[in-house]
Amino acid sequence: MSKFVIIGDSTCDLTKELREEHNIEYCKMKVSWRTKDGVDHEMDADLDWPEMSHKDFFDLLAGGTRVFTTQVTEQEFDRVFTEHLEKGEDVLYIGCSGKLSASVSLAQRLINEKFSKKYPERKIYAVDPYIACMGQGRILLDAADLRDQGKTIDEIKEYIETYRNCYHQVATLESLDTLARAGRVKASKAFFGNLFGVKPILISDAVGNNVASEKQKGRRNALLRVVELVKAEVVKPEEQICWISDAESRPEDLELVVSNLKAIPFKDVRVVPMGPIIGASTGKGTLCVYFKGNEVTYVEQ
Amino acid sequence: MILKTLNGEQFKALVTNGAKNLRLNFEEVDSLNVFPVPDGDTGTNMCRTIENGVNTIASINSTKIGDISKPLSSGMLLGARGNSGVILSQIFRGICKGLSNKTELNVMDLVNAYKLGVKQAYGAVVTPVEGTILTVFREATEYAAKKVTKDSTINDFYRFHLEEAVRSLNHTIDLLPVLKEAGVIDSGGAGYVYIVKGMVKYLDGEEIVAELSSEGSNPNHEISGQPLEIDFDAFGPDDILKFGYCTEFILRLQNSKVDIENFDIQTIIDVLNGDDIKGDSIVALNDGSIVKVHVHTKDPGLVLDHMRKFGEFLTIKIENMALQHNETMGEEEREENRKIEHKKYAVVAVAQGEGVKEQFEAFGVDVVIGGGQTMNPSTEDFIKAFKKLDADNIIVFPNNKNIVMAAKQAAKLYKGAHIEVILSTSIPQCYSALTMLDFSSDDLTLILGNFNEAIRNVTSGEITRAIRNTRVNGVIIRKGDYIGILDGKLLTANRNKTVCFTNLLRKVKKIKEKQVLTIICGEDVTEADKEKLLKSISTKFPYLEFGAIDGGQKVYDYLFAIE
């Protein structure tokens, strides 16, 4: 059995510590924006935030700046994939949900057109996890565990394709402003309108769309509703860690969610900083909870 | 003149004189407002209600009292607006029931008819409150009934009725604590007394000169009305009948065909709804042997055939709905033709202020009915709004407790859709409920539950200006003060409107647990006012998420919803 590498990308929200512990690589996307005085900025969507702090980035969004994002480029795939392929390793790329980014489909095209031809003896897979943020991160972690247990790359690919709909997201946003600017979430205008205090609840549907499934009045109600939905959908919480991707929510808001989630008998509840790509569309105060539960079957029409 | 009996002609003149007397005095009735706010409208509402009835009988000349009473009753029923207007229409509905099938009556017949009026009016109100028009009418009727004998005249009856009505009216102040503190008598009762005074004046030989308003539409007008100018090109030789025919008629039920006394209008509605006719936008009303029907159908011939099983036609109007009629057609009919995308759920809401109307429409309200505290829409206004829609379910937000009854009356009369009236009593409540508008569950119970919950969670506030010195709930108010009203209770007064607003907010129960404040600014609020207010709120209530919209409403500087 060949050695293989597990690769994520900028939307997977895995911290340096988690990536090193589980031996996971990632391909970087990019973000760019224009400041109010007309200066253009571009930086890697780096999960370790070397150029700008997590807080500064989300304050920038809260201040009304529209941040643009770029999917993983061909050059980046070349850089990351080739390094491992050259070493004789197979590649398992688990990218951002294909409904939110074209990275997986670009990777698949490059595999078909280029990598497979250049490395015909290697197994090179691009898999769509139908979810992003720490949902994608969680699938990457589970894949790494399976690898460490001795599963083959094909077995892991099959596992993901079979069980990806059991990975849930329940999220809420602090404000609709960033979302409106970016136009990222599938929901009719009438659903939002010009509303004060209305907070959407976002789930990831069975094909990886971010869907506004319902709305709540007031932040506190929305946060408590998120916990309620987790409770309703979770399966075997005692066997899993519940993950939260957070975009600089107020400490008391985060604390409210964490303490309520801890009342569900998860092995642990852990918080990671939300990456800049999804964050650029959802804005400061986005709080997403990830866990395994009943299979998601709903698809937004 | 002394009348031993009353015929149709005299009854018509009696009621008309009553309506005219109210027309002369409605403003005084409007001013009988518990709160010192220039938005009392009881007089206007009652006046419009009775005028709609009087206009209906204006062209009917018959000595038979039954011929007058029935159209009078339906006219008032459709014209009813405001709680007192709805109750007034029910009072006359009961009285007219007692007059149907009669040519002339004696005083004992009249007593019985008035007793039916009491029964009908009390039956129409879910929780009758004493100290209102109900009490005045009931006591006046009971007193007159006790005083007259079979030898009494019609004049005697009305004199006793008036004598007690006045006494009862002055007594309302002792029955309702809110009236006592504000030092006013009940406005609905006062309106009723003006009507009776006008009737007595007629009997005393004084015909009142007053111009009755024809603003409230005449329900017979649309059927018997003007010849229509029609653009025949709108339906060409190759066109396919898409919209069908708007078919309207008045039918006289025949004793030879049905049991008129026990006839249930539902029988006709079922036939119109049936597989044969497949009618929609059905409105069917009956009053005694008169049945008025509006239906859209592709085969009006079938309708006519079926209806003759019940009676004979008095009038018929059938129009191809594809035709664009000119101005004489009337706005609502043309809108009707313009419709209509079929919807499973549609929303009708009452709103005042351009900004509020625009917001409501942006939120997905299908028909916004103009109106509010100072201008209550009538039952017929609601029915017209319903007719503009092609929906399985229509959800209605009356947004004022004085409009709820007219909305409910309309919901009962209209048969073209399932109608649910949400008990929303303020614009802010409705605003909040609409922000949560979401039909995606496709579950009516759940949708209504969500609306009702949204409304329950809202506390609504109003800031307006006092027009007189008074004292309400122990709050001393000087003319010109801004007053703060929370969920209908006047709780604070201040010279400064920003201070009045924040003081009122402090009175909200468990304010620290509230999360969202929506402010709707009235037409008199300047940008500077608004800025000052928002700044003050962010300092004093930092935990609230808030925003303001320009509602453009009159009288109320600010409306707000806190939840």
In tens, the pLDDT along B96-149 reads 999 988 888 999 999 999 999 999 999 877 778 888 999 999 999 999 999 999
Measure B524 CA to nearest chain A CA, in Å: 22
Residue A128, domain member (yes or no): yes
- The string of pLDDT tens digits covering residues B316-372 is 878 777 664 333 344 444 444 444 678 899 999 999 888 899 888 888 899 999 887
Tell me which residue of B287, B227, B225, B203 sits closest to B253, measured CA to CA. B287
Q: Say if CB B406 and CB B82 are below 8 A apart.
A: yes
pLDDT beyond 80 at B477: yes
Q: What is the pLDDT of residue A188?
A: 46
Which of A138, A164, A190 is a domain's end point?
A164
Give contacts of A190 with chain B, Cβ < 8 Å.
363-364, 437
- Is A214 in the B-facing interface, judged by CB distances under 8 Å? yes
Give contacts of B547 with chain A, Cβ < 8 Å.
196-197
For the domain that residue A124 is a member of, what is the CATH number?
3.40.50.10440
Q: Say if CB B195 and CB B18 are below 8 A apart.
A: yes
Q: What is the pLDDT of residue B128?
A: 81
- Is A192 in the B-facing interface, judged by CB distances under 8 Å? no
Tell me which residue of B137, B147, B135, B86 sits closest to B116, measured CA to CA. B137
Do A174 and A147 fall within a single domain?
no
Lowest mean per-residue pLDDT among A267-281, B240-254, B422-436, B540-554: B240-254
Range of the domain at A239: 166-292
Q: Say if CB B40 and CB B141 are below 8 A apart.
A: no
Burial B308-347 (b: 16+ CB within 10 A, else e): eebbeeeebbebbbbbebeeebbebbeebbeebeebebbb
Which of A117, A140, A164 is a domain's end point?
A164
- pLDDT band, residue B53 (cuts 50/70/90): very high
- The string of pLDDT tens digits covering residues B407-425 is 999 998 898 899 999 999 9
Do A106 and A13 fall within a single domain?
yes
Residues within 8 A of A (CB atoms), B 416-445 only: 432, 435-438
- CATH 3.40.50.510 boundaries in chain B: 341-443
- Return the DSSP state at A234: B
| Beta pairing partners, B5 | B106
B549 in helix, strand or coil?
strand
Among chain B residues, the shortest Cα distance to A199 is held by B436
Q: What is the pLDDT of residue B323?
A: 64
Do A148 and A171 fall within a single domain?
no
Q: What is the pLDDT of residue B217?
A: 40
pLDDT beyond 70 at A1: no
pLDDT beyond 90 at B562: yes
Lowest mean per-residue pLDDT among A250-254, B268-272, B372-376: B372-376
Q: Say if CB A46 and CB A12 are below 8 A apart.
A: no
In chain B, the percentage of residues whose pLDDT exceeds 90 is 52
Of the ranges A134-138, B295-299, B469-473, the best mean pLDDT one: A134-138
Do A184 and A197 fall within a single domain?
yes
User: How many residues comprise chain B?
Assistant: 563
Do A284 and A183 fall within a single domain?
yes
Give the separation between CA B509 and CA B505, rounded to whole angstroms: 9
Give the separation between CA A142 and CA A291, rounded to whole angstroms: 12
What's the CATH code, domain B242-321?
3.30.70.260
> Tokens in use for B406?
């007219």
Give contacts of A219 with chain B, Cβ < 8 Å.
515, 545
- Is A233 in the B-facing interface, judged by CB distances under 8 Å? no
- Is A191 in the B-facing interface, judged by CB distances under 8 Å? yes
Tell me which residue of A211, A245, A97 sits closest to A160, measured CA to CA. A97
Q: How many CB pairs under 8 A join A and B?
A: 47
> Tokens in use for A177?
């402003």
- The single residue listed with the structure tokens 């990536």 is A19
- The string of pLDDT tens digits covering residues B544-561 is 989 888 899 988 999 999
- Is A199 in the B-facing interface, judged by CB distances under 8 Å? no
- Is B450 in the A-facing interface, judged by CB distances under 8 Å? no
Do A133 and A270 fall within a single domain?
no
- The single residue listed with the structure tokens 């092609």 is B390
- What is the rounded average pLDDT of the residues B85-101? 91
- The single residue listed with the structure tokens 């004060």 is A196
In chain A, the percentage of residues whose pLDDT exceeds 70 is 94
Q: What is the pLDDT of residue A207?
A: 93
> Tokens in use for B57?
């009988």
pLDDT beyond 60 at A162: yes
- Return the DSSP state at B370: E
- Return the DSSP state at B353: S
Residue A17 or B470, more confident: A17
- Is B516 in the A-facing interface, judged by CB distances under 8 Å? yes
| Among candidates A190, A196, A220 on the partner chain, residue whose Cβ is nearest the Cβ of B518 | A196
Do A261 and A129 fall within a single domain?
no
- What is the rounded average pLDDT of the residues A102-111? 95
Give contacts of B438 with chain A, Cβ < 8 Å.
191, 214-215
| Among candidates B364, B437, B545 on the partner chain, residue whose Cβ is nearest the Cβ of A196 | B545
- pLDDT band, residue B482 (cuts 50/70/90): very high
Interface touch A218/B545, C-beta < 8 Å: yes
Which helix (H) or strand (E) segment holds residue A157: the answer is helix A153-163
Do A104 and A188 fall within a single domain?
no
In chain A, the percentage of residues whose pLDDT exceeds 90 is 81
Do A143 and A25 fall within a single domain?
yes
Which helix (H) or strand (E) segment holds residue A229: the answer is helix A219-233
Q: What is the pLDDT of residue A187?
A: 47
Residue A34, domain member (yes or no): no
- Return the DSSP state at A186: B
- Amino acid B206 reads E
What's the CATH code, domain B459-562?
3.30.1180
Interface test with A, best of B363, B438, B455, B513 (most A CBs within 10 A): B438
Q: Say if CB A92 and CB A125 are below 8 A apart.
A: yes
- Amino acid A178 reads T
- The string of pLDDT tens digits covering residues A226-271 is 999 999 999 999 999 999 999 999 999 999 999 999 999 999 999 9
- The string of pLDDT tens digits covering residues A26-69 is 999 999 999 888 899 999 999 999 999 999 999 999 988 889 99
pLDDT beyond 80 at B221: no
- What is the rounded average pLDDT of the residues A86-112? 95
Lowest mean per-residue pLDDT among A160-164, A175-179, A228-232, B263-267: A175-179
Do A216 and A275 fall within a single domain?
yes
- pLDDT band, residue A174 (cuts 50/70/90): confident
Do A178 and A104 fall within a single domain?
no
Interface touch A193/B362, C-beta < 8 Å: yes
Q: How much is the CA Rg of chain B, to the nearest whole Å?
A: 25
- Is B545 in the A-facing interface, judged by CB distances under 8 Å? yes
> Tokens in use for B121?
């009016």
- CATH 3.30.70.260 boundaries in chain B: 242-321
- The string of pLDDT tens digits covering residues B163-211 is 999 999 999 888 888 778 777 888 999 999 999 999 999 999 999 988 8
Give the separation between CA B240 and CA B245, rounded to whole angstroms: 13
How much is the mean pLDDT over chain B?
A: 86
Give the separation between CA B295 and CA B244, rounded to whole angstroms: 10
What's the CATH code, domain B341-443?
3.40.50.510
Q: What is the pLDDT of residue B230?
A: 52
Q: Write the CB contacts of A241 (distance below 8 Å, at least 6 apart in sequence).
A: A266, A267, A268, A269, A270
Domain tally, chain A: 2
- The string of pLDDT tens digits covering residues B303-326 is 999 999 999 998 887 877 766 433
- CATH 3.30.1180 boundaries in chain B: 459-562
Give the separation between CA A94 and CA A280, rounded to whole angstroms: 21
Among chain B residues, the shortest Cα distance to A197 is held by B516
Which of A117, A138, A164 is a domain's end point?
A164
pLDDT beyond 50 at A296: yes
Give the separation between CA A173 and CA A182, rounded to whole angstroms: 14
Interface touch B515/A220, C-beta < 8 Å: yes
Is the domain spanning B5-203 CATH 1.25.40.340? The answer is yes
Do A148 and A253 fall within a single domain?
no
- What is the rounded average pLDDT of the residues A67-91? 95
Q: How many Å separate Cα A7 from the centre of its chain?
A: 13
